[in-house]
Amino acid sequence: MAKILQDTTKSGKQRPWRERKIENVKYADYLEMLHYRKARRVKECGEVLRFIADDEGRLKLAQTWFCKSRLCPLCNWRRAMKQSNQLMQILQVAVGREPKGRFIFLTLTEENASGTELKSRLREMTRAFNRLIKYKKVAKNLLGFVRSTEITVSANETYHQHMHVLLFVKSSYFASSANYLSQAEWTKLWQKARKLDYMPIVHVEAIKSNLKKGKNSLLASAQETAKYQVKSKDILTDNQERDLRVVEDLEQGLAGSRMLGFGGLLRDIRKELQLDADEENENLIDTSGDDEEIGDKVREVVAKWNFERQNYFV
């Protein structure tokens, strides 16, 4: 008798294989309706999962095939885990090297874009960010940064593209008004860099440099930076016509864009730790997480997706 796959984390939480695969299939169906050739490949994503199991029955993914399509819910779940784990490794090294350094979490926004504008607006946003960090008052205290773009879909089907940036700065940033940038100043600088004729919304938060859990912690900011570029719930609603338009817009808009960008010390450390594989070559099987560590391998577990019964069976 085939059994339903049970894959839990150390703390006993069920890993969301089934939920993400159901979303993946719906996304693949949309691609098919939109006549994307990759639809078939996307549907095969994570169809067969090979795990190694320890004597307590805990599993570690050993082999599967991931489609790596930018909007794939299954790949994005793995990618977000991997990127936040790797980012934490990088940040830990950075803190070790610059113990006095401080972190600031910036969110840079602009007015929504239409589907056809999205691609060029994302490109302009990246260019504007590169100008922002070169401004003297920003550059003089900057040790490094990591940035990501996120896109949410508004009710009127326009796109809210914004940038999350974790800045690593010298402690002198907070030492005097000649160095410190208020929220109003960040807003003005972003307006200038982005060449906007209106005041954009900018959030600034100082982050506690400890690596423990909690709000305003470095871990929370790393997770926020490394999370989904587009959330599945924004492309998969109960309105199919709307979803098809949104998937089409995002497939076009995100093509060729990069999700994460690193600079300064954080880029150097990422390189040293050899975590700088490009997105095509990224390995989504090993997500570099501590909670994936298991005991000695005692057997292999193979789970296969059943399209009719909508679950993984071993």
Q: What is the binding site for Zn ion (CB under 5 A)?
A: 45, 66-67, 72, 74-75
Q: Which of 127, 69, 38 is nearest to 254 (CA)?
A: 69
The minimum distance between CB 284 and Zn ion, in angstroms, equals 8
Query: What is the distance between the alpha carbons of residues 285 and 307, in angstroms, rounded to a whole number?
Result: 22
Question: Rounded to the nearest whole angstrom, what is the least distance from the CB of residue 46 to Zn ion in the complex?
Answer: 6
Pick between residue 66 and residue 186 the one whose CB is nearest to Zn ion. 66
Pick between residue 31 and residue 72 the one whose CB is nearest to Zn ion. Answer: 72
Q: How far is the CB of 72 from Zn ion (least distance, A)?
A: 3
Q: Quote the tokens at residue 84.
A: 């936040």
Least Å distance, CB 37 to Zn ion, is 15
223-236 residues labelled b (16+ CB within 10 A) or e (exposed) = bebbbbbbebebbb
Q: Which is nearer to Zn ion, 37 or 215 (CB)?
A: 37
User: Is 230 in contact with 251 (CB distance < 8 Å)?
Assistant: no
Q: Which is nearer to Zn ion, 7 or 23 (CB)?
A: 23
> Angle 62-64-68 (CA atoms, 0-180°, nearest 5)?
125
Sequence letter at residue 53: A
Contact 176, 69 (CB under 8 A): no
3-state helix, strand, coil in the chain (%, to 5): 40, 20, 40
Q: Which is nearer to Zn ion, 70 or 194 (CB)?
A: 70
Least distance between Zn ion and beta carbon 58 (Å)? 24
CB 177, min distance to Zn ion, A: 49
Which residues lie closer than 8 Å to 127 by C-beta, 6 or more apart?
A: none
Q: Which is nearer to Zn ion, 64 or 223 (CB)?
A: 64
Torsion over CA of 139, 142, 144 and 145, rounded to 10 degrees?
-80
d(CA 235, CA 246): 6
CB of 38 to Zn ion, least distance (A): 10
